[in-house]
Amino acid sequence: MINGKNYSWEDITIQLPYGTLIDIEDIEYSDEKETEANYGKGSNPTGYGEGNYSANGKLTLKREEFQRLLDYVKKNSKTLYGLDPFPIIVSYANDDQPTVTDKLPLCKFTSTKNGSSQNDKKVNVELEFIILKPIEWDGTPAN
C-alpha cells in the first residue's frame, strides 16, 4: 500500500484470558530456531543441522492493569507464577489494512519488575514470559 495508513500502536489489541488489555504500554515477543552450518571437506558448509526452537516475550503494563491481572490470578490460581499456561492474542487492525493476528499459544510468566521514582506520572510493571508452543504468525506456525 502506498500513501495509506500503516499499522500503529492504536491499531493493536492484546488479549489475555481475562480480557482485552487497556492499560498496556508495550509488548514484545520473538522466537528463534537454532540452525548451524555443518562442515566436511573444504571450507564451505556441506549442510546444516537444527536444534531447539524457543520463544519469549515481555509486557509492560500500567499498575492498574497489573491489578486487574492479579484479580484474575486470585480467582484462578494461588500465585502469579502458578497460572496454567495461557494464550496471548495480538491483533493488528485498521481501516486500510487487513486484520493480522499473532497467537502466542502457551505463555507462562517468568519474571516481574516494578519500580517508581519521584515525580513519575505513572507506575509500570514489566512482566517477562516464556512461550511454550510455537508462535503462530498470522496463522502460520513458526516451527
| pLDDT by position in tens, the chain (length 143) | 556 788 889 999 999 999 999 999 999 999 999 999 999 999 999 999 999 999 999 999 999 999 999 999 999 988 999 999 999 999 999 888 889 999 999 999 999 999 899 999 999 999 999 999 999 999 999 99
Instruction: Dig out the grid coordinates for 27 from the structure.
Output: 509488548
By the 10 Å C-beta count (0-12 exposed, 13-18 middle, 19+ buried), 74 is classed as exposed
> In this predicted structure, what is the pLDDT of residue 77?
84
Element (H, E) at 75: helix 63-76
> In this predicted structure, what is the pLDDT of residue 59?
97
